[in-house]
Amino acid sequence: MYDVVIVGSGPAGALAAIDLARHGARVCLIERAGHPRYKACGGGVLARAARLLPVDPTPAVDHVCQSVELRFPDRNLSFRTQRGTPVIFMTMRSEFDRLLVAEAVRCGTILREESPVKGVAIEADRVTVQTVREQVSGRFVIAADGADSVVARAGGWPANHHVIPSVECEVPVDTETLARFAGIARFDMDHPRHGYSWVFPKKEHLSVGVLSTRRGNTGLREAFQLYLRQLDIEPAGTLELHGALIPVRPRHDVLARGRVLLIGDAAGLADPITAEGITHAVLSGQLAARALVEGELDAATVADRYCRLLGESILGELGAAWRLAQLFYGYPLLRNLLFRSHGQRFCEKVTDIMMGERRYADFDLSVGGLVRYLKPW
């Protein structure tokens, strides 16, 4: 019988485990695979996320980018921002996640790997998680098992329909091609339509991917191949493409109910502008742990505390980001008009957000604000 059972050992689950174990809680961390395991993800850890980490991420960092480039190929527009310190730490998620899980275990967390969850039973005084290997009980369960969370379904939450498709691949390339993209996180807008493509440099290869903000887009693999040709990237080996669904809006209703707390992708906390999810995965894991500790494992107190903490630090910011994303992806003509005169200013602001120095709430999306932006043009 544990105090808390955490299902999913990505950054959200691992950070919750670390903070809980450091406060003396009995924690069991359940992972369906075994570490290190592959995770479909660009692997970019923003500076704002790195600041939250309780361990030095350097052992898992393949490359650092102090520049971010945003391109609109169809409009012949491009913008680049530069900072004196890394904006994005490029990692392989297998190594990054293993680093965090190792710290959780060092702090006293009990790790159960290669244990897919078959079912979750929620009772008045406990939660029981049935895996293919064993039955694990705890006073609380934290859902950190992704957008299609088994735990969330068991807790009565409906499916999160605000998910967007993506395809990514770790592309082996020659040293000349690798040098061409070194030091810069590159994003190409409107490829595909209502989405973007990216190139992230790693130690010995490039992480390349495409995503669409429209559900059900079935042409991403073709868009991926076209993107490689457009950038003159010739793979030096076999490609293995991986698809993923990214939740870009929180689930409806509260994110804690009874003895169940949702964090990370299970809660739907990815950034709707960049589709980056690690920052809020880390932060929500820490907030869940804080609510459990401060609420002294009382179900009603913990749920209320967690929802309050989310509202104060994540949900309001995601609401502002969602409104900006509606303009950014939903009204491309207006967006392109604004970028003609204010593109660099926009990119500088978003880079500051990546650094943790600014918030989406700083964008003025009122009618008056848009008129002021358009007036110089």
CB 68 within 8 A of CB 347: yes
Give CA angle at 120 (116, 122), nearest 5°: 160
CATH of the domain spanning 163-246: 3.30.9.10
Q: Which residues contact 5 (CB under 8 A, 6 or more apart)?
A: 27, 28, 30, 127, 129, 136, 137, 138, 140, 141, 142
68: its two tokens:
């971010």
Residues 6+ away with beta carbon under 8 Å from 319: none
Contact present, 317 and 361 (Cβ < 8 Å): yes
- In the chain, DSSP finds a helix count (H) and a strand count (E) of 12, 18
Is residue 319 exposed (0-12), middle (13-18) or buried (19+ Cβ within 10 Å)?
A: middle
* Dmax (CA) of the chain: 65
Dihedrals phi, psi of 52, to nearest 5 degrees: -85, -15
Kindly state the helix (H) or strand (E) to which residue 105 belongs, with its residue range: helix 93-106
Structure tokens at 113: 């790997």
Q: CATH classification of 2-61+89-161+248-324 is 3.50.50.60, yes or no?
A: yes
- Does the pTM surpass 0.85? The reply is yes
- Based on the number of CB atoms within 10 Å of its own CB, is 268 exposed (0-12), middle (13-18) or buried (19 or more)? buried
End-to-end, the C-alpha distance of the chain in Å comes to: 64
Residue reference for tokens 């020659």: 174
Interacting residues of 55 by C-beta distance below 8 A, sequence separation 6+? 99, 100, 103
Using the 8-state DSSP alphabet, how is residue 299 labeled? H
User: Would you give the distance in Å from CA 86 to the centre of its chain?
Assistant: 18
Rounded Cα distance between 145 and 53, Å, is 20
What is residue 375's predicted lDDT score, i.e. its pLDDT?
58
Structure tokens at 116: 């897919």
Boundaries of every domain in the chain: 2-61+89-161+248-324, 163-246, 330-374
Residues of the chain predicted below pLDDT 70: 217, 365-377
Q: How far is CA 145 from CA 54, 114, 355, 376, in A?
A: 21, 14, 27, 47
pLDDT at 4: 98
Note the pLDDT of residue 372: 62
Across the beta sheet with 61-65, what order do the strands follow?
Answer: 44-46, 88-91, 61-65
